[in-house]
Amino acid sequence: MTLDNNIMIIANRANLKLIVASDMVIIGQKLRLKDKSFWGVIIFLLGGLFLLMISLTRISDTTSKILCAMIGTGFLILSILTIIRQANDRVKIIDGKIIFRYNLRNFIVPVDPNMKIRMRNDRIKISRATAPTSSTYISITHYLITTDKEIPILNFQMDDSDSDEALLLGNKITQLLNTLIR
């Protein structure tokens, strides 16, 4: 199986890395420094570090010191876990197994002919009270459908202006994964 260059370009814009061979497929998230959501997480990380440092150096009141340290540590831990999640989410189909990491959890599922991959898309609109415009994204989620469960295995999002390309990429990924499962 091969993918055309168009799909690879779209996957690159969606921060996905696709590796396709005749008997295996690997789809992984890429961590992009230019992504707005990544910089939002970095701001939370720096805010957590700032609160932690302030609690250790500047604050003399015990209650404020403990509260500031707890909030700073919470921001720090959540932002680190978010970066790890963004860098490590992936799906592999190899040697008759579906191996995927989704939301910091690893799963290994043996391939069953009754399984299938289904794709869903959602439009997410983010608006702020102070800004006159809003941002709209399309979120594509792939689910592994078994006889008794529906398990999310891959999620990516793109700007709504690229929704046709996101749907094309999502459909191609669904087709690719379903072909290897059967």
pTM of the model: 0.78
The residue whose two tokens read 């191609």 is 172
Q: Exposed/middle/buried for 129, CB within 10 Å: 0-12, 13-18, 19+?
A: exposed
Q: Exposed/middle/buried for 93, CB within 10 Å: 0-12, 13-18, 19+?
A: buried
Q: Phi and psi dihedrals of 120, rounded to 5?
A: -130, 150
Q: Where are the domains of the chain?
A: 5-30+90-181, 37-83
Mean pLDDT by groups of 10 residues along the chain of 182 residues: 76 84 83 79 92 86 87 93 84 84 83 87 78 78 87 84 87 86 78
